[in-house]
Amino acid sequence: MTAPVGNFKTEIRSIAMILSLTLVWAFAMLSLAVPAAGAAQARILVYTRNYTPDGKGYVHDNIAASVEAIRKMGAEKAFAVDVSDDPAVFSDANLKQYAALVFSNSNNQAFSSDAQRDAFKHYIETGGGFVGLHSASGSERDWPYFWSVLGGKFAVHPKMQTFTVQVADPHFPGVQGMPPTFAWTDECYFTDHLNPDIHIVLVTDRTKLAALDLLKIDVSTFPNPLPLAWYHQFDGGREFYLALGHNKQDYANPILYGIIEKGILWAMNRVQ
């Protein structure tokens, strides 16, 4: 039996519509997956200022190694890296270009004016990403807002030693694929003024650390296990902090390198 011509034409139109919608959907997905020609590359600022008025603040010798490692990450993951230790970079107009700020072993006075602090605060409030590495927790020791952004404030560390690091949150992208525990030689930071919003990622058992009796602080007032890395979303921004990283050679270690790289990508909102 021959099908009615009207029904046949209707079926043809339906098939054509389905094919057209499929092509539109496929083109949209391709557009999302492939950046448009000439699209601006994401950019981060690595900030390394170490300053005290009397010039007696400790400056880590790992800064060059950390910068080199982050530049390599940028080349691998397609983001541009600017590096500075000049607080003049902190203005609303300049910070707009950055997907994240990485305070890499900065220490003591990060800023030289309240206008720069205001620009930093505005950057966070408008959704900026922030990563602090190692001694960054010793930056801006007199500014509580900075402690809240970073997640805490450096207090003290015992002598360099090897200790066991445990992954407390294996779901955070920065540590996915890592072993649940690993031995690590470093300065084990004790951090106070912890922001209650932080999600702890790495910890160690502080009762197993050596030479704690030499510290001029009551270590029993610190949590156990002791937090060594965390993330949170505070005041509109995305923040990640890693206390490890004193030794310059460790910036080529796949463990530290991987945590920092994935932490930066998370702060840039490149991974969830």
- Residue 55 is predicted with a pLDDT of 85
Residue-wise pLDDT for 153-187, tens only, equals: 999 999 999 999 999 999 999 999 999 999 999 99
Asked whether the beta carbons of 174 and 229 are under 8 A apart, the reply is yes
User: 50 has which bridge partners?
Assistant: 107
- Residue 56 is predicted with a pLDDT of 80
Pairing relation of β-strands 50-51 and 107-108?
A: parallel
Distances, alpha carbon 14 to alpha carbons 4, 7, 22, 124, 256, in Å: 16, 11, 12, 51, 56
- Residue 13 is predicted with a pLDDT of 53
Residue 74: closest CA among 109, 56, 99, 111: 99
pTM for this prediction: 0.85
Residue-wise pLDDT for 47-66, tens only, equals: 999 999 888 888 999 999 99
Q: State CA 176 to chain mean position distance.
A: 15
Cα radius of gyration (the chain): 24
Asked whether the beta carbons of 235 and 124 are under 8 A apart, the reply is yes
Token digits of residue 81: 């890296």
Percentage above 70 pLDDT, the chain: 85
Summarize the confidence of residues 77-94 as an average pLDDT: 98
Asked whether the beta carbons of 219 and 190 are under 8 A apart, the reply is yes
15 band by pLDDT with thresholds 50, 70 and 90: very low
Asked whether the beta carbons of 45 and 101 are under 8 A apart, the reply is yes
Summarize the confidence of residues 211-226 as an average pLDDT: 96
Residue 133: closest CA among 266, 251, 272: 251
150 band by pLDDT with thresholds 50, 70 and 90: very high
Residue 1 has pLDDT above 50, yes or no: no
Count Cα neighbours of 42 within 13 Å in the Cβ-side half-sphere.
Answer: 20
